[in-house]
A and B are shown apart, each in its own frame.
Chain A
Amino acid sequence: MKRFGKLSLLAVLALMMVVVAACGKKNETSPSPSASQAAAPASESPKASEPAPPADKKIVLGFAQVGAESGWRTANTKSIQESAAAAGIDLKFSDAQQKQENQIKAIRSYIQQKVDVIAFSPVVESGWDTVLKEAKDAGIPVILTDRAVDSKDTSLYRTFIGSDFVEEGRKAGQWLVEATKDAQGDVNIVQLEGTTGSAPANDRMAGFKEVIKDHPNLKIIASQTGDFTRAKGKEVMQAFLQAHKKIDVLYAHNDDMALGAIQAIEAAGLKPGVDIKIISVDGVHDGMQAASEGKINYIVECNPLLGPQLMDAVKDVLAGKEIPQRIVTKESAFTSEQAKEALPTRQY
């Protein structure tokens, strides 16, 4: 045993630091705009002197995508490609494979190619000032899609098109308030949060709480992160079911966690959607499938199909029109019945 002594203690300490540091992983199944979206009105109006493209020349749009990490993202890419083709815009597309340096490289190459507009979904929130300044100096307008940057200088980009996660949380809360308005006594809610600290997790929780706080009978009795994954969602839900005898509602921050939790609920001999009402966010295919089977009662959509809105914004910017600093994606929500109807026509 003597051999273990100090060396192994040191090794374990070092290891633990790695464990702790490594666990703060960035893993988002959904996009992550920041608080900076609540920005003040543009400090600078769009330059009127900007040359409008000649009518016979196609608009060239350079788009730097994050990657293809989820079904959501793939649908997002497809939407942009298809709507660019439909709008007659020449799309230059690059995939950054979740790396900021790749994205910066792509944006620089778009600047060199003198494209008309640059659009991109930032992988991370910070570190964009330099390259955005280069684009501004070159007179190329920039549009952010689905994730924001934390730059103080809002004149570096024209607009940010993306989902409003707080609103998604509010919608989930409103449905619950409506569904439980006749309920007698307390309604016990458990919550599966997204990756701790990520914008979708924070905002979806904030919106939900904001709505239910006026209804004292709606109580969140347990809340834990499920890291946006099915495996964690199942594990946490299973523990919730052991620890709490009466759970009425599950609110999951994305479909995957809800899908994992459904398995846990079924393993506990309960009926998901009946014994425990389930609310979820995203609207990916598997989630909609579960909703159409009645296992998820309400899905708030987080829409990846922002291509058409992006193309409109591109045209407006080039036409010299004033556009808002924040464009919220068109999003809806589905009950089980609506999901059944919508399922065959869903694109993702």
Chain B
Amino acid sequence: MKRLVRHHLFWPLAVWAALLLFNLLYSPDFFSIVVRNGHLYGSLIDILNFGAPLILVALGMTVVIATEGIDLSVGSVVAISGAMACLWISKGADQNSPGLAFAAIGLAVLLSLALGLWNGLLVSGAGIQPIIATLILMVAGRGIAQLITSGQIITISSKPYSYIGTGSLAALPFSIFVVAAMFGIAALLTRRTALGLFIESVGNNPRASRLIGIRSRVVLISVYVFSGLCAGIAGLILSSNVASADGNNAGLWYELDAILAVVIGGTSLNGGRFYLTGTVIGALIIQTLTTTIYVIGVPPEITLVVKAFVVLVVCLIQSETFRNKIAERWRTRHYPAEREVTRHA
């Protein structure tokens, strides 16, 4: 039991379970999943589907944070990648041709890799603080996205493209498979090769890592490129889900949700240690919370307060210091009156 509680996934999972349990009590239909038009349909599926982009972005953010960095530009990369893909498709003669969709996807992915590389070079090459280096692209990227869309919302009607966000494979949303693939790749690379160790080492002490022969520069650049790639794919899913690109609003404030997911998942902002599975659960907690708020009908004016409160509770539960304090208080019960009695006796 003790080992179970100490496992790094215990508290995130417990919080998620509590959220789901609350939903079950509130509306028993929450877990009902029906087959509609050949694919599964229900609140849980929605959570997975709408949570997919956030999970992706948060995965990239996890490895960046593991190197004691941060990537604020992910929201903008989401917007740029969606904008680029939709622009390319809207310019094509036959929007439904698969070739066009693949070209658009390829172009967007290449672009987001390049943007990730830009971040990586600024951080490792130019030695700029990650928060500043990526802030540049966060601000400028929104502008680039609006430039690509010329400030308008680009609507497209490409069947192959909308498959990414709305299509289903084996009765499940296709986006889930994209996430699973990216998660698999990330987990394999970091846990089955030495790369994960290198990342943690660089996050702990870049200098010592360099001295023992790790190329910290390459490691740093590659984590930012990976983060860019994840954000780019998330952008494709988001824009394909609504079949349009909105340079102004797509992925707005995504970086904050992603950082939150990473932290809920147990990864330290100090770097040196990271949990990919924890991040996935963190992102699912955030998406479940959002859906819960819609379902129980919290008035929009206080939605943010409710969210903030739940997040606060989650973070307090996660904090070992806080838990120990509570436990200690429970065990010793040093109430002033009690102390008084003991002293006089």
- Spell out A's residues near B (CB within 8 Å): 1-9, 11-13, 15-16, 18-20, 22-25, 27, 67-71, 73-74, 193, 196-197, 222-225, 227-231, 234-236, 238-240, 242-243, 256, 259-260, 263, 267-269, 286
Contacts and interface: CB of A to CB of B under 8 A. Distances in A.
B41 A268 contact: yes
A239 B49 CA distance: 12
B242 A7 contact: no
Given A8-B270, A9-B319, A23-B253, A15 B152 contact: no
Centre residue among B37, B256, B273 by max chain A CB count within 10 A:
B256
Task: State the main secondary structure of chain A at its contact with B.
Answer: helix
Given A27-B249, A70-B153, A267-B166, A11 B269 contact: yes
Given A5-B319, A15-B256, A239-B295, A263 B246 contact: no
Interface string B210-247: 00000000000000000000000000001001111010
Contacts of B155: 286
A262 to B, nearest CB: 10
Nearest to B264: A12
- Categorize the interface residue count of chain B: 35 or more
B300 interface: yes
B178 interface: no
B322 interface: yes
B311 A231 contact: no
B97 interface: no
Contact of A263 (B146, B151, B166): B166
Interface string B184-216: 000000000000000000000000000000000
A74 B152 contact: yes
B153 A242 contact: no
Task: State the main secondary structure of chain B at its contact with A.
Answer: helix
A8 B322 contact: no
Contacts of A260: 242
Contacts of A25: 252-253
B168 to A, nearest CB: 10
A72 to B, nearest CB: 10
B256 A22 contact: yes
A11 B263 contact: yes
A1 B11 CA distance: 12
B94 interface: no
A225 B300 contact: yes
A193 B300 contact: yes
A242 B301 contact: no
A16 B41 contact: no
Nearest to A235: B50
Contacts of A228: 249
A94 B248 CA distance: 21
B291 interface: yes
Contacts of A263: 166, 241-243
